[in-house]
Structure 1
Amino acid sequence: MPFYSKRDLQFQLFENQKVLELTCFKYFEDHSQETFQMVLEAADQIAVTSLFPLLTDMDRNEPQLIGGKIKVHEGMKKIVRQFGQDGWINATFSYEEGGQQLPNTIHLAAGFIFQAANYSSSVYPFLTTGAANLIRTFGSQQLIDTFTPNMYNGKWQGTMALTEPDAGSSLTDLSTMAIPTEKEGVFKIQGQKIYISCGDHDACENVIHLMLARIKGAPAGVKGISLFVVPQKRVPDNEPNDVLTEGIYHKMGYKGAPIAHLMIGSNDSAEGYLVGEANKGLSYMFQMMNEARVGVGMNAAAIGTAAFQSSLAYAKERPQGRKITEKDPSKPQIPIIEHADVKRMLLFQKSVTEGALSLLFFCAKLGDLVHVAEGKEKEEASLLLDLLTPIAKTYPSEICCLTTSAAVQILGGAGYTTDFPVEQYYREARIHPIHEGTTGIHGLDLLGRKVLMQEGKALQLFAAEIIKTISSAKKLNHLIPFAEKLEKYLQRAQQTSFHLFGKASQNPEEFLSDASLYLEYIGILTISWQWLSQGITAHEALDKGSPETDFYKGKLMAMRYFFEYELVKMDGLGKRLVSDDMLTVEMKGEWF
């Protein structure tokens, strides 16, 4: 059973986002369509032969804490080392660091294949990528030499250790303490961390935590947070570093990757090594978090894609009922894909997942431009990526909870059983609106910060990009109605935004009370824009006489669906956003 569409991935990368344009930059000049295809084929082989076969078994046999150590699925030992030995963990890094200088866009596409095959197993190596990237970017040469080689080769796991029992999204309240020692850059760490993905497991030889802590005497709040490397075992003597696994969380989905509760410094002997400058830890960590947020959006889109492919295959094979106009019960039943309501649910899945993929690859390409471009191009790419990141993280995360539900619905009673994977996809999708910043946090980030930064310059760039796509679409007769419709909704979104901005200084609580709805509102607009872009690409291919008429017509139908069924949801959201009824602000806890 396919778990993603190879053809759509090719379309997204090479036709719609034109990823080969990146090879014009010196950093990527050694690459070509051939090398990119080789990377994608290699990812597909690993996904098909190593990851997908363990999808169900890793869900049924989840990690266990035994004797103070988390035991994971036996198959993960081979998989983790394979990712390291094949160069996936540091593929985007420079040649000098042993990397391949691969564009992040292609690396993210490979990750999409892995995540669609088996989300749990894909988490291990890419957590290490993020942690190693922090060390190589901000750490001393000694830290780089000590820790990154074995992270790159898959022997050591990397993590991001932020959350504490009383400091989840509110890192201001972080209490893990770092006490200076006589050794320069070495601190004793004391505290606890919870919900640490891959925070301990037996598929690696050591776990390297990138941990936020507050140096004793540091300023209160986020300005006093520093970043430390805290290994589970000390290097090079391999002795325990007083980082103990206190517990393991058993989750509703995504069960194959362990989530640990860690106690640090219970015996006053946990050593941590300062990364970069003191009190700048949160700004360093945000590098990893921003990369991870686009990654979380891709995780959600990948799971949504796998659920769509599963329900599509089922709908083509499952006979049930007859056409509404067919009155003869002796006639054979028809596949359920011929029923309009099933086609509606499939189009919902297709339009949302492929629309989200388009946005995610657009953001990945912006990230590559930030890395290699210069001057105005670099600045504008950075601003646009900042604005789009909360949307790219949240829209796929929220909506794929609904698309995986639609997949279950298409299978009916069968979808509610463990005989088919859609129930697992449904459970695994639900984490993504929560981790790497909840939807509420990203709503506040978008409305309270991103759209206002540099006097709204990012928002202006965003509108300019949409207008550019609208102008291109107006040159194609069949797309003029869609271009005009998007133009109308863009104008409404601008008016709604300006209405909200008027509240920003007068009453910040009212201004931000519906920030999550504003994020949903702008998210729909953004995906509509991406669909118009895909519509242009598909229409031009058909005009050139492409023989793949079914594929491109499917694209145009998905665009039509999104404009007809999803874009119009902005009407209700917009009405709410300009309302003067501040009921959620006025509501009191005791009234519940």
Structure 2
Amino acid sequence: MAKQAYSRRDLSFQLHEVLHVEDLSRFPYFQDHDRGSIDLVLDTAGQFADQLLKPLLTELDRQEPQLVDGTIRLHPGVKNIVRRFGEDGWINALFSYEEGGQQLPATVYNAAVFAMQATNYSGSVPPFLTLGAANLLRSFAKPELMAAFTPHMYAGRWQGTMALTEPDAGSSLSDITTSAEPTEEGYYRMRGQKIYISSGDHDACDNVVHLMLARIKGAPSGAKGISLFVVPRQRVAGGLPAENTQPQDLVSNDVVTAGIYHKLGCKGAPIAHLMIGGSDDCQGYLVGEPNQGLRYMFQMMNEARLAVGVSAAAIGTAAYYAALEYARARPQGRHIAARDVTKPQVPIIQHADVKRMLLFQKATMEGALGLLMQCSYYMDVARVGTGAEKERAELLLDLLMPIAKSYPAEMGVLSTGAAIQVHGGAGYTTDFPVEQFWRESRIHPIHEGTTGIQGLDLLGRKITQHGGRAVGLLLEEIQAAVAAAEGVPELRELAAQLTKTVGILQQTTMHLLGVAEQNHELFLADATLYLELAGLVAVAWQWLRQATVAQNALPAAHPDDQNFYHGKLMAARYFYEYELVRAPSLAKRLQSPNAVTVDMQEAWF
């Protein structure tokens, strides 16, 4: 196990030096959070991770969940993690003081989550799922429904989930068949099945609360007829639970765990196959208005997509530090020019190709983290801001969400793969953690909307929404970063390169919009490649911001910080030299008239 999973110094740099996150205290909701309190949150998250999560990293992977007598059994340590998340206030930290929360900015919270998940991703998944489900109830449920369930969820006693996927309705949610029939008692009788439900059942808590999509009998077909329900695994006989409801007060709600999926990674958080209402005795409660479920659920899905990006960057970062530690300790070979075999071997970190792989990890993961923190900042302003400032943040966040989910997810897989390569044959064994990191990273391009779906969302919807206003705002943000970098002689070349690449992206976008008028299928055929191109520009923007701060800070930096800032500048140079240079070839493919993927016929495979 590597000694270090993430850089506390980099978190401080991203939050304080680049984003100036303490400026959020200008909003009354965040007024109690100054730099001191923010650093305390990050330090506390680090201690929590070291004490509770780190010791179980390998154990949770080796001792995977099992379905025993109808209940999924987890490693006993997960129960302590979930309980402590609730007791220490992590589940409701974003919420108001009146709800027992800390009114913490999402930017700070996501930085803390990043630290925890870099330390042990799968061990931290269940309570963060509860946060998303509880927030959905806060946003759309009637007060009595919220009061019945959220206190138990905040305390970590009851697990929260999002129950969407069905056997014949994965990403196509308009095809779900789970049904809800109203009764005179005020609840709905639920019937159906759900698959791939993360933490959908386990023994580390007293109950599970499913936020479930279903169709009320007689509702319109398709997406317009989907409603959202609270469906607990166990219920209180005769009505809604109360805040003082105890485990012995609960009875079965006819939600049966039919199976468990044995996953490639992330084994501390089980995935369940659920049968609902097999005995015609499952009670669910409508959240909000009928037929608005998909709209409500998109709030949780958008939050989950940003959370996926954070998780992916966290695992990729942990893999980077594991590879860095190994490369510094592993002697192998000698410098290219030194052929004297009597000389001692050198650590592999001194070889240029190993440095290339480490720089790839550093550049992609620290760049991804910068984008994620930027989006988190927009989320905070959108949440508590007003007027034009709020609207601007909302538009930028909505536009960047597909990139913030998919870029860390895709690059996280490559980062963990590079970590295995740095380790050589040792990386392919369970003696080192990087093979586990690769397995755990592989889910992120899939769940909460595959990379392909994110590409369709960006090109097919986000680019043209609101008359393209969000794109204009993003260009303003990038231009501001370019202007700041142009004032730093060492960075003018990078600024010019980003300006040129933005032009390439704009030209490609206009070309594709022209294609859309003639052939919509061809327009979206390579949406994933367009997403990749946009991701390169977005992360290059973040690296230019980080490089500007680092270069300006370097002359007066404390000796201990000199290496840090030099590392930032070299990582920025690497990104521009090795990653951003891929943009023209992507643009060429996107503007090519050769419609290979559209023209290919099924029979020809």
Return the TM-score normalized by structure 1. Answer: 0.99
* Structure 1 segment 154-233 matched on structure 2, within 5 A: 154-184=156-186, 186-233=187-234
Displacement of 1:144 = 1.0
CA distance in 2, matches of 1:449, 1:17: 28
Question: Mind listing any 5+ residue stretches in structure 1 that lack a counterpart?
Answer: none
CA distance in 2, matches of 1:323, 1:443: 44
Displacement of 1:546 = 4.0
1:355 counterpart SS class? helix
Structure 1 equivalent of residue 44 of structure 2: 42
| CA deviations over 1:28-87 (Å, ceiling 9, x no partner) | 001111111111111111110110110001000000001110000100111100000000
CA distance in 1, matches of 2:386, 2:298: 22
CA distance in 2, matches of 1:512, 1:544: 50
**Which of the residues 413, 424, 429 maps onto 2:425?**
413
Q: CA RMSD in A?
A: 0.7
Structure 1 equivalent of residue 580 of structure 2: 567
Return the TM-score normalized by structure 2. Answer: 0.97
Structure 2 equivalent of residue 484 of structure 1: 496
CA distance in 1, matches of 2:385, 2:144: 30
CA distance in 1, matches of 2:498, 2:448: 31
Structure 2 equivalent of residue 75 of structure 1: 77
Displacement of 1:544 = 3.4
1:568 counterpart SS class? helix
* Structure 1 residue 399 corresponds to structure 2 residue 435: no
**Which of the residues 435, 447, 460 maps onto 2:447?**
435
CA distance in 1, matches of 2:147, 2:358: 50
CA distance in 2, matches of 1:530, 1:206: 42
Displacement of 1:545 = 4.0
8 Å CA contact retained: 2:78, 2:268: no
Once the two structures are overlaid, the 10-residue window that deviates more, 578-587 or 557-566, is 578-587
1:239 counterpart SS class? strand
Structure 1 equivalent of residue 66 of structure 2: 64
8 Å CA contact retained: 2:94, 2:102: yes
**Which of the residues 560, 570, 581 maps onto 1:557?**
570
1:436 counterpart SS class? coil
CA distance in 2, matches of 1:136, 1:565: 45
Displacement of 1:322 = 0.3
CA distance in 2, matches of 1:462, 1:202: 46
* Structure 1 segment 139-150 matched on structure 2, within 5 A: 139-150=141-152
Structure 2 equivalent of residue 450 of structure 1: 462
CA distance in 2, matches of 1:505, 1:226: 34
CA distance in 1, matches of 2:159, 2:580: 42
8 Å CA contact retained: 2:141, 2:287: yes
CA distance in 2, matches of 1:386, 1:201: 34
Structure 2 equivalent of residue 587 of structure 1: 600
| CA deviations over 1:139-182 (Å, ceiling 9, x no partner) | 01111110000100000000000000000100110110000101
Displacement of 1:464 = 1.2
* Structure 1 segment 357-368 matched on structure 2, within 5 A: 357-368=369-380
CA distance in 2, matches of 1:448, 1:534: 31
* Structure 1 segment 522-537 matched on structure 2, within 5 A: 522-537=534-549
CA distance in 2, matches of 1:203, 1:408: 33
CA distance in 2, matches of 1:582, 1:40: 49
Question: Mind listing any 5+ residue stretches in structure 2 that lack a counterpart?
Answer: 242-248
8 Å CA contact retained: 2:504, 2:584: no
Displacement of 1:572 = 1.2
1:364 counterpart SS class? helix
Percent sequence identity over aligned pairs: 61
| CA deviations over 1:439-472 (Å, ceiling 9, x no partner) | 1100000000000101111111111111110011
CA distance in 2, matches of 1:590, 1:265: 42
Displacement of 1:543 = 3.4
CA distance in 2, matches of 1:590, 1:456: 40
Give the letter for the 2:190 counterpart: I
| CA deviations over 1:101-154 (Å, ceiling 9, x no partner) | 000111111110111011111101110000000111110111111000010000
**Which of the residues 493, 506, 520 maps onto 1:508?**
520
* Structure 1 residue 464 corresponds to structure 2 residue 466: no
Displacement of 1:18 = 1.1
